[in-house]
Amino acid sequence: MSKLTKVEDVENLDLFDVKFEQPPPLPIPPVHGYKSHLISRLINTWVGRKFIIPNTMKTMKLDEFRNRYIPDPPMQYPQVEFDEPAMKSGERTEGLNEFYETVVKNSKTSKINRVRILYELNVEDSNQGCKPSEVIDKILEIIGDKTDVCNSVVQCNKDAIRAQALEADKRYGSKSARMLEGIPFLVKEEITVEGYKMKFGLPEIVTPPFGKEYSKANSLTVQRLVDEGAICIGISNMHQIGLGISGLNQSSEHFGGAKNPYDLDVHTGGSSSGTASGVASNLALFGLGTDGGGSIRIPAVNCGLVGIKPTFGRWSTAGEHWAGGSTVASGPLAQTVDDCAIVYAISAGYHKSDSNAIKQPVPRIISTKSDKTIKVGIWEDWINATEDTILLPFTKLINSLEKNDIIQTNKKFKIPEEFYMNTAHAGTIISEIYNDHKDLLFPENYDKINADTLVFLNLASQFTATDYVQFCRQKRRMVKIMQRVFEEFDVDYFITPTLGGLPKRRMPGDDKYMPNDLDYTLKTMLYVRIANFIGLPAMTVPMGMAEDEFGKELPFGVQIYGKWWDEAGMIDLARRIEPFVRDNVKRPEIFHNVFE
């Protein structure tokens, strides 16, 4: 055993003497088709355990990480102190009604408001607008006839959906419509919805026991939306057990995974893939995903959407059965910032029955910073690691925001120990998921599981309890580091590109065996993981279109990070950025005009 090296106290770290460390190439080469299948099997042999996995761990600097003596006590769930009054269990978002009445109802971008207006017009004149039931019939026809070429929806209870639509018709007729009355939405297959199975993207034969049964109630986040009249039109596709960033899924019950409406051969991103493709193709106006390592933000940006990953614990976990529990938050995806914001606000707030109930201030949706120039951190060395096709328009956007006094940047901003943070995050999330799904590594299950999922589970199997404790020590340390970073660089937010590059394409054999490309995974996740590891809120906004290597224009995005619990300010900044980028993003090729 090597001698432990005591780390420097956080209080003594030099925040200015920090260099960004680019993730090095991993020893598992990019492979597709049957080769990917063979690699996933090889890793579970003595060759994998003796050579491939140790070399991968070495590249992650795991030995070096293990030899760091971190005196801080472990922190499993990220949480910070705050000065505001603590919210009570079940308390709702402050300013919700005001935001709905003054912002959403007057929004020039909100698709939710536009559709509500169409519903209201139809009440006054049956030749104008449309009814919720008419819209729902069109959506169900697309799902039922398999003309949903994006494979967004994997479960659909048509009778229950039609009944809710007819109820929405009545409420508009009696002028008792609620905020989201008749608005269709999708829910990822690892969130509990009454009448559906929570299968985690798995074929039913290997789904956990509780996922084989139809859920008897909604999770609290879903119920809050249903209570405002929203209609769940089905359960959306996802990457198996949330372990992957492509969105592909070899299960026949998941049709090879969700497909990107901008180009059916391009990855949607994972793991909330079906939610993103369904909202981007206009089957639904918003959807719910979960985010343990960018799983809302990655598919959102790849499909040209807005996505919010709230502060850890800000959305209730009541009624959920997530794996990866200390890194995961559920949140909304939508076509516009205002729509994402109102959905966030309706579902925000913890409940005493949450498995990870975190003491927190009352959630707000109206910011106190709206008329001020916002102080923003920009870590140039980190940002320069993205592809030029993204870097150049990102830089142009930052310059425009500064010129128009939207933001004031601090380009001395840096984040110490970002590389160690990435190692600890990767170890944490795959260890927690492995703990819930390790039976998938039984040989009889191999042909039913994605090749990349098997690789991650095999890597996770080599982490120890001591490793997990070390990851939790690094978590507390990173919380303290970021508290110093926000304070001493005097910023309220920091901004990055959402991803390190454009999404890749499906290659021959990928639908059957799934690709394995860990370097692509690291590049994609370049800017997303700190939000999950220490619980910061983050959101992505579509920024523009860029050509991939095949000359196809694809969307990319800008990401905003806020301080813990400051979703209101983060959303307000996104609302101020959106006018600068809105016209840069094109409509997807697959777009269902169900609201016309």
Q: What pLDDT is attached to residue 1? A: 56
Separation of first and last alpha carbons in the chain: 68
Q: What pLDDT is attached to residue 210? A: 84
Q: What pLDDT is attached to residue 319? A: 80
Q: What pLDDT is attached to residue 513? A: 86
Q: Is the dihedral of CA 101, 107, 109, 115 positive or negative?
A: positive
Q: What pLDDT is attached to residue 324? A: 57
Q: Strand 407-410 to strand 374-377: parallel, antiparallel, or no bridges (unpaired)?
A: parallel
What are the extents of the domains in the chain? 5-82+379-524, 96-364+537-584
Q: Which amino acid does the sequence have at 65?
A: F
Q: What is the pLDDT of residues 339-362, one digit of tens each?
A: 999 999 999 999 988 888 889 999
The DSSP 8-state label assigned to residue 30 in this structure reads -
Confidence at 3, pLDDT banded by 50, 70, 90: confident
Confidence at 322, pLDDT banded by 50, 70, 90: low
Q: What pLDDT is attached to residue 376? A: 98
Q: What is the mean pLDDT of residues 432-441?
A: 93
Q: What does the CA dihedral 40, 45, 51, 53 come to, rounded to 10 degrees? A: 50
Q: What is the pLDDT of residues 447-463, one digit of tens each?
A: 999 999 999 999 999 99
In angstroms, the CA 37 to CA 35 distance is 5
Confidence at 7, pLDDT banded by 50, 70, 90: very high
Q: What is the pLDDT of residues 88-126, one digit of tens each?
A: 998 999 999 999 999 999 999 999 999 999 999 999 999
How high is the mean pLDDT of the chain? 95
Please give the model's pTM, rounded to 2 decimal places: 0.98
3-state secondary structure of 576: helix
- Which two three-digit tokens encode residue 428? 């944490």
Percent of the chain predicted with pLDDT > 70: 99
In angstroms, the CA 93 to CA 225 distance is 13
For residue 145, pLDDT beyond 90: no
Mention the CATH class of domain 96-364+537-584.
alpha beta
Q: What is the mean pLDDT of residues 200-220?
A: 93
